[in-house]
């Protein structure tokens, strides 16, 4: 079992590496920056800049992203570093909208396992 603390990106060097050399995909509510790592688990970070709003709004944005990720984390491929960046529009959205947006972005990035992508196609 992997320690939960290892699953969170914290080092500035990791953030800089992903921002400089990683790939990105945007949606209405979030931007996903991702890069392959050499680990057998996926690490994530949730970011809301001051452009999103005051501290209450930024914390809400991060909570929405964390909660949405909680439902999707079992389906995401292992071995990636992922940064979820909130957009200003996330403040007016609900959990279901953010979760749908996150799922669609992860599918576009090919970060969700194949079985999950097939189920996604059938629903549409």
Range with lowest mean pLDDT among 50-59, 66-75, 96-105, 112-121: 112-121
Q: How many domains does the chain have?
A: 1
How does residue 7 score in pLDDT terms, banded at 50, 70 and 90? confident
Share of the chain above pLDDT 90, in %: 73
What is the domain extent for residue 56? 7-123
Q: pTM of this prediction?
A: 0.87
1 domain residue, yes or no: no
The Cα 80–Cα 35 span in angstroms is 6
How does residue 124 score in pLDDT terms, banded at 50, 70 and 90? very low
Question: In this structure, are residues 61 and 91 in contact, taking their beta carbons and an 8 Å threshold?
Answer: yes
Residues 17-56 have pLDDT tens digits of 999 999 999 999 999 999 999 988 999 999 999 999 999 9
CA dihedral 48, 53, 58, 60 (to 10 degrees): -130
Question: In this structure, are residues 50 and 57 in contact, taking their beta carbons and an 8 Å threshold?
Answer: no
Q: Which CATH number is 92's domain given?
A: 3.30.230.10
19 domain residue, yes or no: yes
Locate 18 and state its tokens. Answer: 């992903």
The Cα 30–Cα 46 span in angstroms is 10
Mean pLDDT of 9-14: 90
Residue of 52, 55, 37 whose CA lies nearest to 98: 52
112 domain residue, yes or no: yes
38 domain residue, yes or no: yes
116 domain residue, yes or no: yes
50 domain residue, yes or no: yes
94 domain residue, yes or no: yes
2 domain residue, yes or no: no
Find all residues with CB under 8 Å of 36, minimum gap 6, and list them.
79, 80, 81
């Amino acid at each position: 079992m992997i320690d939960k603390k290892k699953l969170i990106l914290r080092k500035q060097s990791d953030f800089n590496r992903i921002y400089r050399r990683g790939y990105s995909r945007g949606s209405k509510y979030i931007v996903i920056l991702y890069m392959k790592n050499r680990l057998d688990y996926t690490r994530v970070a949730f970011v809301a800049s001051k452009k999103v709003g005051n501290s209450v709004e930024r914390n809400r944005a991060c909570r929405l992203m964390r909660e949405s990720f909680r439902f999707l984390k079992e389906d995401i491929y292992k071995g990636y570093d992922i940064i979820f960046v909130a957009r200003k529009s996330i403040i007016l959205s609900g959990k279901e909208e953010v979760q749908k947006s996150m799922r669609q972005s992860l599918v576009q990035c090919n970060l969700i396992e194949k079985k999950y992508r097939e189920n996604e196609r059938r629903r549409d």
